[in-house]
Structure 1
Amino acid sequence: MSDEHSRLKRALSRRNVLGRGVAGGMAVSFPPLALAAARPATPKGLPNILWMVSEDNNPYLGAYGDPIAHTPHLDALAKKGVLYRNAFSNAPVCATSRFGILTGVHAESCSPAQHMRANAHLPKQLKTYPEYLREAGYYCLNNFKTDYNCDIDPKIIWDDNSRTAQWRNRPAGKPFMAVFNDLTTHESQIFFKTEGRVKPEDVRVPAYLPDTPEVRTDLSSYYNRIEMMDANCGKRLAALEADGLAEDTIVFYYSDNGGVMPRSKHYSYDEGYRTCLMIYVPPKWQHLAPAPAGSVVNSPVSYIDLVPTLLSLIGQPKAPHMVGRALLGPYAGSPEKFAFGANDRQGERYDFNRTVCDGRYRYIRNYLPDVAWGTPMSYSWVAKSYQSWERAHDADRLNPAQDRFFQTKPYEEFYDLGTDRDQVRNLIGDPAQAGRIAAMRSALDRHMVKINDNGFIPEGHGAEGYFQSRNRTAYPLGKLMALAQQSARRDPRNLERFRKQLSHDNDLVRYWAVYGIKLLGSDAGLAEDRLVRLAEHDPSPYVRLQAASALCETAQHAKGIANLATILDAAPSVALQLQAISALILAGRLALPALPSIRRLTASDDENLHAAARYLTAVLEGVYAPGYDLLDRSWYDRKNGPYLGQPMPGPTF
């Protein structure tokens, strides 16, 4: 453990050179010493810090050049602050993104935190940012969303975590760190139409979506919700001014992850990660600013940088385990070339892809290429735009760019965002991009090793966890990365290599070797006998499950389905049951003999199991169609209260 800690500390002490400016301008770089001569004397005390956080939105703001957005308050904030042109969340969904924001540690370093709606164990060594700030004398409040994807108790880390939390409640003389989460633009808010300034005929429909009334309505509603969110931000800033606190408060505005339109949130395209970020530093605290008022920074930043930034603002270096860099303050780091993202289970749907972006180009690696992008997801599919997209697919009314969403994935994707903002032209085989692709491949590999990416561990496995996964005997990351890449490439020449690994003493190696055989399709039959033995007798339930799924690609598919049904009935864990249902979904009509076992799980108290089982039951019974209620509404209301598809409560001021 000490050697690993030392290696991390050495790695984190390195500084990268200035990243290139992209996406329409030169990068603005202001190293900490560049403004030293112009700095006034440091004021006494500590600045207040205000975070205004919106939900689920891309930069559909005037400040980012959107021609139909009406966002006067945030546009004004950007003009007097610093706007980050290429800001990204580290996950395309709120809970996993928030884990990194809270801890300064990538969610995929502390499995199962990279899975949506998980409950990862947060080791006590990984303190949260309110704990650091409270130790420094801050009054820390959060109003009111947590959603941290881990077992931290919000009541312990915050002075006040409630709908009524407010800076006015702090003890006299204390600086505050205040987080206000505005749910106005949350995914659920496009489940119904929001009238406003923007009309359906005003919007631009992305090239990957069909031009349907439902898509246009959801897009216009999204714009109108963003205008409402902007008005809320204006009220928050007015309250700060009215309380006489504006000159002492550094203000951040950001959105917690990318947008909510189809193929945005939950997916590894640019729309899933690209966010808003602007920071206003009042004149009194300009010595902490990264650039003069009105500046635009084009080098990529991501939310893993937020905790180091907070620590720098209070005069502290980041902790050795943090991989981000401070954007402001005395410990501000040099610009990075890349921002990284991770996408794993979203609700009831498993996926596994990693991505890297420099602002202009995005590289995506799909480790589960047999999983289609457009498999219905219970929550998202409440949106009429998703339903209309699927109906158009079923009716064969889509062009190839629009229909690709419903197909299985390539191993790699590469897009030029400057010429293809909608990412419909995959340039992975373009010789003119070979050098850039190779550089981004290598950067992603180095990043995954550096952060000890837990993505190759199936959910629920004993190797999960920040410290457990650093045991290379239990989790041989380098070997698994190579094996998973060979698997996803679907190269029949690797069959013998996979067969040899079926006897490996590490079950994760066997797991990925079996997956490699499965992806070879008809060639998987050459290992049929070995797969039968593994499905029935391997000591690891994860290998048994993967082998049963692989058998579905062979003449022994009936044995594969039977073994998957056994996992459903035995109920070893919710995670294994959900993985078994996912395998049965991939098997399609072959899964029909398992229908009784699948149907029983529609009564599960676990939301993901309920939704996945309900979907597959409907498919196998022939009653599924776009708009089918994948989350039984009465079940949902009984468990969660009558919320789905209803307006979120407004923020308090």
Structure 2
Amino acid sequence: MFKNNYSIIFKICIILLCAITLISCQTKPKEELPPNIVWITSEDNSKHYQKLFDDNGIHTPNIEALAKEGLIFSRAFSNAPVCSVARSAIISGCYGPRIGSQFHRKMAVVPMPDSLKMFPTYLKQAGYYTTNNSKEDYNIIKSEGVWDESSKKASWKNRAEQQPFFHVFNIGVSHESSMHFTAQGMDTIATETDINSFKIQPNHPNTDLFKYTNALYRDKIREMDRQVGKIIKELKEDGRLDDTFIFYFGDHGGVLPGSKGYLYETGLHVPMVVHVPKKYRHLVKNQIGSTINGFVSFIDLAPTILNLAGINIPKEIDGTAFLGKDIESEELNSRDETYSYADRFDEKYDMVRAVRKGKYKYIRSYQPFNYDGLMNNYRYKQLAYQEWQSLYNDGKLNEVQSAFFEKRAPEMLFDVDADPYETKNLADDPAYSSTLINMREKLASWVKEMPDLSFYPEHFLIEKAFQNPAQFGKKHKDEIQKYIEIADLNLLNFDDAKNSLTTALKSSDPWERYWAIIACSAFGQQAMGMESQITEMASQDTELINRVRAAEFLGIVKKLNPSTVMTNSLYESEKPSEALLILNSVVLMESGKYNYKFNIQLDSISKTVAEDSEVQLRLKYLNILK
């Protein structure tokens, strides 16, 4: 009897277990597919011209509509103010001066750091369909497996059924070249934007030409917004809005004079909106339609996309994810720092670094005698640039408007909230001394810890470091930190820096000598006591560029016409990037600030040098190459 009962009970248990298992299988949710992700980038747009971000801007209804179903990032920054350098930071997630991608246009491409890949590769390996339409413009060697397709025909629609996609769409209508109109064009092409509907920024002259340029630029942004609308419409018609994150952002700052190419907010602070799809709102902790005030930078984009896709973020990436289920709203809004860098843009050399923390912006100019307005051929195709310089030469600008053509201070501190166009340098104001020291230390720590490869000249990096820039930086970190300390001597009183400069000028390391000469040039007349030592270097230093830097110092302090030393050094150079750096000093010395005369003969320049496209821009400007 009991045996039969046990048999019945056992059968009932089996039936119940099967039923529970069946119910469990039926109710268990299917594994969630990762979200689709679309990037819409617009070229050459800072946040200052869209009303969504700035009262002086215009309405962009399609971008504004996107924001209603997503998030507005009011503190989004490019790490560099020009396209190839900015895009290299985006695709790698790394700071350019650490990995050697900081020069625009590239005279040499660099590999990705060891074991790190361009981030779409990780998406592709995880099953994503990756497409780019269509600009790449990296200073990094593109490895295999980044894109399934990268062309003007690339589309997410060619993926396999149920395959998630990552798609990039680039809008170029507002590119700097759109401002290369002629005087005749200004007279014949009316603008959609009323020329009296906005304010001219305070460092610009308030002229008819600047008003027209502002209005036309805003017209280009209107057209860009219409193109954004077309892409959104296409996604909607394809039934993708509910499962696709849509990022809209500018690829760096705007193109009005003094913006693109410079580490001011108009060159770095970009508009950014992220549409959050209904199906994946659990991946975002912030309220839909809200504004994120936390700082995000371009190096953060790669880890953010990987995080949203559920892919582990490689430790070699410098950035930090700002979206994903593990990112808390309070923590995101507390982020308040961004770093930026500017080196060579086309044929024009400079070396500037910046950090913004909260409302304060600190800009460190390592070669402050290279004033902002130093000739750059492409910039000066814009009539507004030409007029700005002409008005300066004629003495018709006020102090704020003239600053672009004057020697910069080695360090500048701005309260961006109170002074959004960075016109009032607070570095010498005793009330801000503690802020200045804090920001100075923060910037110095950053360049040392990267370490920043730009403390070597570009031609040396091409020859010695660009096979593996990140590894070279690690190996030579101590030397780079020493160069930074020598460069920072010009932040001291000269009497406090004098002994260290004297020692560095005698160093057996050519790059210690290099930075000591540059520091003396920044001191200018205060460093006249170094004249005899630097005069000797101008003729005898083993490095051509050190002879040129020595002659540059002597030219700045009006003790020697630098033309002979610089010209002969140019003739000796066999390296295009070295010759280009020499020519930067030639253009500075030839400019209205100094007015030294040069007689450079084309047939005395190395053929390898003379045939380089960037060198030719300088030769054409100097009327050496017709």
The aligned runs of 1:326-405 (5 Å cut-off) are 326-332=321-327, 334-335=331-332, 336-405=335-404
Shift in Å, 1:356 = 1.3
Shift in Å, 1:121 = 1.1
SS at match of 1:557: coil
In the alignment, is residue 530 of structure 1 matched against residue 525 of structure 2?
Answer: no
CA offset digits 1:486-506 (Å, max 9, x no partner) = 136572542332121123232
- Which residue number in structure 1 is paired with residue 37 of structure 2? 49
The aligned runs of 1:563-602 (5 Å cut-off) are 563-588=565-590, 591-596=596-601
- Which residue number in structure 2 is paired with residue 479 of structure 1? 482
Decide whether the 8 Å contact of 1:363 with 1:415 is kept in 2.
Answer: yes
CA offset digits 1:86-134 (Å, max 9, x no partner) = 1110001111111110000011112253444343312352310111111
Shift in Å, 1:135 = 0.9
In the alignment, is residue 607 of structure 1 matched against residue 613 of structure 2?
Answer: yes
> For the structure 1 residues 529 and 181, does the alpha-carbon distance in structure 2 shift closer, same or farther, using more than 3 Å as the test?
same
Decide whether the 8 Å contact of 1:366 with 1:412 is kept in 2.
Answer: yes
Q: Mind listing any 5+ residue stretches in structure 1 that lack a counterpart?
A: 1-39, 619-631, 636-653
Decide whether the 8 Å contact of 2:110 with 2:139 is kept in 1.
Answer: no
- Alpha-carbon distance in structure 1 between the residues aligned to 2:610 and 2:574: 14
Percent identity of equivalent pairs? 29
Decide whether the 8 Å contact of 2:547 with 2:569 is kept in 1.
Answer: no
- Alpha-carbon distance in structure 1 between the residues aligned to 2:79 and 2:30: 33
The correspondence for 2:140, drawn from 150, 154, 171, is 150
- Alpha-carbon distance in structure 1 between the residues aligned to 2:574 and 2:532: 25
Shift in Å, 1:561 = 2.9
State the one-letter code of the partner of 1:78.
Answer: A
- Which residue number in structure 2 is paired with residue 129 of structure 1? 119
Give the greater-gyration-radius structure (CA): 2
- Alpha-carbon distance in structure 1 between the residues aligned to 2:606 and 2:73: 46
Shift in Å, 1:512 = 0.6
CA offset digits 1:116-160 (Å, max 9, x no partner) = 43433123523101111111111111111111122225x752111
- Alpha-carbon distance in structure 2 between the residues aligned to 1:601 and 1:523: 37
SS at match of 1:287: helix
- Alpha-carbon distance in structure 1 between the residues aligned to 2:558 and 2:84: 41
SS at match of 1:552: helix
SS at match of 1:595: coil
State the one-letter code of the partner of 1:51.
Answer: W
Q: Mind listing any 5+ residue stretches in structure 2 that lack a counterpart?
A: 1-27
The correspondence for 1:467, drawn from 464, 468, 471, is 471
- Alpha-carbon distance in structure 2 between the residues aligned to 1:561 and 1:77: 57
Q: Output the aligned Cα RMSD.
A: 2.6
In the alignment, is residue 104 of structure 1 matched against residue 93 of structure 2?
Answer: yes
Shift in Å, 1:531 = 3.0
- Alpha-carbon distance in structure 2 between the residues aligned to 1:549 and 1:490: 22
- Which residue number in structure 2 is paired with residue 310 of structure 1? 305
The aligned runs of 1:496-645 (5 Å cut-off) are 496-522=499-525, 524=527, 526-553=529-556, 557-558=560-561, 560-588=562-590, 591-596=596-601, 604-617=610-623
Shift in Å, 1:403 = 1.0
- Alpha-carbon distance in structure 1 between the residues aligned to 2:534 and 2:286: 60
- Alpha-carbon distance in structure 2 between the residues aligned to 1:419 and 1:545: 41
Q: How many residues align?
A: 578
Decide whether the 8 Å contact of 2:410 with 2:522 is kept in 1.
Answer: no
CA offset digits 1:613-644 (Å, max 9, x no partner) = 222348xxxxxxxxxxxxx9xx8xxxxxxxxx
- Alpha-carbon distance in structure 2 between the residues aligned to 1:431 and 1:552: 33
CA offset digits 1:524-568 (Å, max 9, x no partner) = 55444433443444333433332343343568735x432321232
State the one-letter code of the partner of 2:383.
Answer: K
Shift in Å, 1:68 = 5.0
In the alignment, is residue 239 of structure 1 matched against residue 245 of structure 2?
Answer: no
- Which residue number in structure 1 is paired with residue 415 of structure 2? 416
- Alpha-carbon distance in structure 2 between the residues aligned to 1:260 and 1:299: 25
Decide whether the 8 Å contact of 1:299 with 1:359 is kept in 2.
Answer: no
- Give the TM-score normalised by the residue count of structure 1: 0.83
- Alpha-carbon distance in structure 2 between the residues aligned to 1:225 and 1:489: 46
CA offset digits 1:574-616 (Å, max 9, x no partner) = 1111111111222236642443359969994433212222223
Q: Bigger shift: 58-67 or 278-287?
A: 58-67
- Which residue number in structure 2 is paired with residue 78 of structure 1? 67
- Alpha-carbon distance in structure 2 between the residues aligned to 1:293 and 1:104: 26
- Which residue number in structure 1 is paired with residue 17 of structure 2? none
In the alignment, is residue 282 of structure 1 matched against residue 277 of structure 2?
Answer: yes
SS at match of 2:353: strand
> For the structure 1 residues 535 and 125, does the alpha-carbon distance in structure 2 shift closer, same or farther, using more than 3 Å as the test?
farther
Shift in Å, 1:75 = 0.3
- Alpha-carbon distance in structure 1 between the residues aligned to 2:29 and 2:214: 48
Decide whether the 8 Å contact of 2:102 with 2:342 is kept in 1.
Answer: no
- Alpha-carbon distance in structure 1 between the residues aligned to 2:166 and 2:405: 44
Decide whether the 8 Å contact of 1:54 with 1:183 is kept in 2.
Answer: yes
> For the structure 1 residues 342 and 597, does the alpha-carbon distance in structure 2 shift closer, same or farther, using more than 3 Å as the test?
same
